[in-house]
Chain A
Amino acid sequence: MPSDIETIALAGNPNAGKTTLFNALTGANQQVGNYAGVTVERKSGEFFTPHGRKLRVTDLPGCYSLEGGSPDQQIARKVLLGEIDGEAKPDLVVCVVDASNLERHLVLALEVIELGMPVVVALNMVDVAEQAGIRLDPAKLSEELGVPVVPLQANAAKGIVELKQALRHPFPAVPDAPWKHGPAEVLADRRRGRVYQICEVAARRPDGHTSTLSDKLDRWLLHWLVGWVAFIGMMLLVFWSIFSFAAIPMGWIESLQGLLAEKVTASMPEGDLRGLLVDGIIGGVGSVVVFLPQILLLFFFIGLLESSGYMARAAFLMDGVMGKAGLSGKAFLPLFSSYACAIPGVMATRTIDSAKERLVTIFVAPWMSCSARLPVYLVLVPLLLGGQVGGFQQAAVFLGIYALGTATALVVARLLRGKLGPDEVKQHFMLELPPYRAPQWSYVFRHVAGRGWSFLQKAGGLILAINILLWAAQTYPKSGSEDPAEQLAHSAMGRVGKVVEPLVEPLGLDGRTGTAILTSFAAREVFVSSMTQLFHVTEGETDEETWTALRKQLAAETWPDGRPMFTIPAVMALLVFFIYALQCLPTTAVVARESGSWKWAAGQFVFMSAFAWLAAFAVYRIGSIFL
């Protein structure tokens, strides 16, 4: 699209400090969105040069090369070539490189120079390079590359003015790329050779390797035993913090939700609109917003681990385990994120290069038990243990539930990866281990705020609409009865529940539980409130009181012939169904967006539902023989 403001693009490897530089250049003046047609995040902003000229800057996704197949790399290449609809080809590229690791980062810089566009190299993290004893010669580097080179330290805002001055008009001439000429098949080798030549004269490393603090830490954190103990300890700490710290703001949100519902109930006469506002909208939005503290905390820890340099070590450690499931270390982060919520987990698969590995990771991510399943587990597990709440047995069952979902995900990933076949282009798991750094708090908080807002926008709109539709299905047609259970049985949802009754009976469950399962497709935790209504349980003042009353009622329920209904095999079958079923329509919507295919999302939904039913059936039947 033609534009009167000139555009510059920021390109660079992950961990080059690109986003820090983008923030330093634009301040608060930035917009976050998506590239048209794909969900790769697009960040752009505007700033003024010291000469008063306005420039628009776009932060490209971080990538090691422009030749890879991941969505991030494809987008970076297409933006630079001006191949994205509605996106102006940049007038200049600022290539951000890590001065302490030029051997790696200059490869992308050479690829960008080969495109024949004006380029300025931002030589970032010169302080880290100096600490490592590297003798940098920016003037020589500029001479060798044929483009201006500006040394800077983006996290301390040093060199930003000099960089802005380098962007004055006219832009630097298009550099020559002599290494480009020759047989195309050995271009990568020539490029690498050129990088070593340049580093030899412009970034000399000290003759003897001095052991840095990062080297010393890595000796322990990548150790085959100590490294794993530290990794598991850190993950447990992250999980514990997410669940314990989030409980406080989650309580506030629930109180606010209750207060709003009370206000609306008090200020409006009884009617459908009031029901829609209280149950469909306040309840529906609340069911998303209540998980926001967990999501924010998860992204806070992810940001902290990324910013400190540990996340790359975690991916390195997990590469072997993931390899057994046909995945790479890059799948670790999306799967780990899915324990909080599959939506950010699925979104985090964008960094995976191989399209097939990405699809497989998206496919199995919902099997990581997300936090929305917790209320269901909290009701059912004590029921399984004869009403016993807390203690070692309950912890062991919880661990078993998480382990079952994870193990099944890895086995299915392995099978699916085999089914999809090898990649057309061989992918290498290349991972840079950046030096450990003190976390950049501004980056961490921006990351948390950006992701949180993105989560609310993406999940909020659709989940709200789906909740309104589910409310309608539970409300219409009207029965005329005041009894909520009778109304639900008479409603469209109740009628569908009757239809699905033959489907849940083989699992040892009746139509009421079938209906509650149906209502949980908007959000799994809705299952608990539906069961409370359907089994005529009076809600207590706290969730725990309600759950205890519900458990007592379920334990006393019988079939018409007097047999107990919620036997151990039936509760186990219900638990197994919840571990495996994809009862989350917002996740399905995000999967469709990220995979670019509604068919893939629908296939995943059908497969997981069928798998859940079969597994629950097997558990009930086999369990009934022994228990």
Chain B
Amino acid sequence: MNDWQTWAAVAAVILAALYVAAKATGKKGKKTSCGHDCGCGKK
């Protein structure tokens, strides 16, 4: 039994749960683009 592996797996599961919850509730992450969906990274 690798404890560090268990903790890492649990952390990944929590992240996945947060991702699914964010998708389901439509919460958007911090806006990091110019709004043109061009990936430029400019505000």
A31-B39, A33-B38 known; A273+B2 contact, CB < 8 A: yes
In order of increasing CB-CB distance, the 10 nearest A-B pairs are: A271-B5, A33-B37, A86-B35, A271-B2, A273-B5, A272-B9, A468-B16, A465-B16, A472-B13, A276-B9
Cβ-closest chain A residue relative to B18: A465
| Chain B contact residues, CB within 8 Å of chain A | 1-2, 4-6, 8-10, 12-13, 16-17, 19-20, 23-24, 34-39
27 A–B contacts from the bound complex (CB under 8 Å): A1-B35, A1-B36, A44-B36, A86-B36, A87-B35, A268-B5, A271-B6, A272-B6, A272-B9, A273-B4, A273-B6, A273-B8, A273-B9, A273-B12, A274-B5, A275-B9, A276-B9, A276-B13, A461-B19, A465-B23, A466-B20, A468-B13, A469-B16, A471-B13, A475-B9, A589-B23, A598-B24
Query: Does A140 belong to the interface (CB within 8 Å)?
Result: no
Residues of B within 8 A of A589 (CB): 23
A259 within 8 A of B: no
Residue A269 at the B interface, CB < 8 A? yes
CA distance A271 to B5 in the complex (A): 6
Question: Binding site of A, secondary structure by majority: helix, strand, loop or mixed?
Answer: helix
Which residues of chain B are near A275, meaning CB under 8 Å?
A: 9
* Most chain B CB inside 10 Å of its own CB: which residue of A44, A268, A274, A276: A276
Interface centre among A269, A271, A272 (most CB of B within 10 A): A272
**Chain B: CB-nearest residue to A37:** B26
A36 to B33 alpha-carbon distance, docked (Å): 12
Q: How many Å from the CB of B6 to the closest CB on chain A?
A: 5
Do A465 and B9 contact each other (CB < 8 Å), given the known contacts A31-B37, A271-B2, A272-B2?
Answer: no
Tell whether A469 pairs with B20 under 8 Å between CB atoms, given A269-B2, A272-B6: yes
| Closest-CB distance, A288 to chain B (whole angstroms) | 15
Q: Which residue of B lies closest to A276 (CB)?
A: B9
Say yes or no: is A270 at the interface (Cβ < 8 Å to chain B): yes
Inter-chain contact A469/B6, CB cutoff 8 Å: no
A472–B13 Cα distance when bound, in Å, is 7
Contact of B12 with A276 in the complex, beta carbons under 8 Å: yes
A244 close to chain B: CB less than 8 A: no
What residue of chain A has the Cβ atom nearest to residue B24's Cβ?
A598
By the criterion CB–CB under 8 Å, are A44 and B9 in contact?
Answer: no
Instruction: Let me know if A31 and B19 touch, CB within 8 A.
Output: no
Please, how many angstroms separate the alpha-carbon atoms of A273 and B12 in the complex?
9
Whole-angstrom CA separation of A131 from B9 in the bound complex: 66
Question: Hey, which chain A residues are within 8 Å of B16, CB to CB?
Answer: 464-466, 468-469, 472
Question: B37 — nearest CB in chain A belongs to which residue?
Answer: A33
CB distance from B37 to the nearest CB of A (A): 3
Which residues of B lie under 8 Å from residue A462 when comparing CB positions? 19-20, 23
User: 1/0 per residue A229-272: CB within 8 Å of B?
Assistant: 00000000000000000000000000000000000000011111
Residue from B4, B6, B8, B36 whose CB has the most chain A CB atoms within 10 Å: B36
Shortest CB–CB separation between residue B17 and chain A, in angstroms? 6
**Does A31 contact B38, Cβ atoms closer than 8 Å?**
yes
> Does B20 contact A34, Cβ atoms closer than 8 Å?
no
Q: Which residues of B contact A471 (CB under 8 A)?
A: 13
Minimum distance in angstroms from B36 CB to a CB of chain A? 7
Q: Is the CB of A271 within 8 A of B34?
A: no
Whether the pair A272, B38 counts as a contact (CB closer than 8 A) is no
A188 to B33 CA separation, bound complex (whole angstroms): 41
Contact partners of A461 in chain B: CB under 8 A: 19
B37/A34 in contact, CB under 8 A: yes
Give every chain B residue within 8 A of A269 (Cβ-Cβ).
2, 5
A42 at the interface (CB under 8 A from B): yes
Interface residues of A in 388-426 (CB under 8 A from B): none
Bound CA–CA A468/B19 (angstroms): 11
In the complex, chain B residues whose CB is within 8 Å of the CB of A87:
35-36
Measured between beta carbons, the chain A residues less than 8 angstroms from B20 are 462, 465-466, 469
Complex alpha-carbon distance, A468 and B36, angstroms: 32
Interface residues of A in 1-46 (CB under 8 A from B): 1, 31, 33-34, 36, 42, 44
How many Å lie between the Cα of A95 and that of B20 in the bound state? 41
Which residues does chain B contribute within 8 Å of A273, judged by CB atoms? 2, 4-6, 8-9, 12
Residues of B within 8 A of A276 (CB): 9, 12-13
Docked-complex contact A465 and B19, CB < 8 angstroms: yes
Residues of B within 8 Å of A1, CB to CB, are: 34-36
- Name the CB-closest residue of A to B22: A465
Q: Which residue of B lies closest to A30 (CB)?
A: B38
Residue of B10, B12, B19 contacting most chain A CB atoms (<10 Å): B12
A268 to B2, CA, bound (A): 10
B35 to chain A, nearest CB (A): 3
| Residue in contact with B37 in the complex, picked from A42, A280, A464, A598, CB distance below 8 Å | A42
- When the two chains form their complex, are residues A469 and B17 in contact, meaning their CB atoms are under 8 A apart? yes
Q: Which of B5, B24, B36, B37 contacts A272 (CB 8 A)?
A: B5
The chain A residue with its CB closest to the CB of B19 is: A465
User: What are the residues of chain B within 8 A of A280 when measuring CB–CB?
Assistant: 12
The distance in angstroms between the C-alpha atoms of A465 and B23, with both chains bound, is 10
- Which of A271, A275, A471, A589 lies at the interface centre, i.e. has the most chain B CB atoms within 10 A of its CB? A271
18 further A-B contacts with Cβ under 8 Å, apart from A272-B8, A280-B12, A464-B16, are A31-B36, A31-B37, A31-B38, A36-B35, A86-B36, A268-B5, A269-B5, A271-B1, A271-B4, A273-B2, A273-B4, A273-B8, A274-B5, A465-B20, A468-B13, A469-B13, A469-B20, A471-B13
> In the complex, what's the smallest C-beta–C-beta distance from A277 to chain B, in angstroms?
9
Over the window 449-464 of chain A, the binary record of Cβ atoms lying under 8 Å from chain B Cβ atoms (1 yes, 0 no) is 0000000000001101
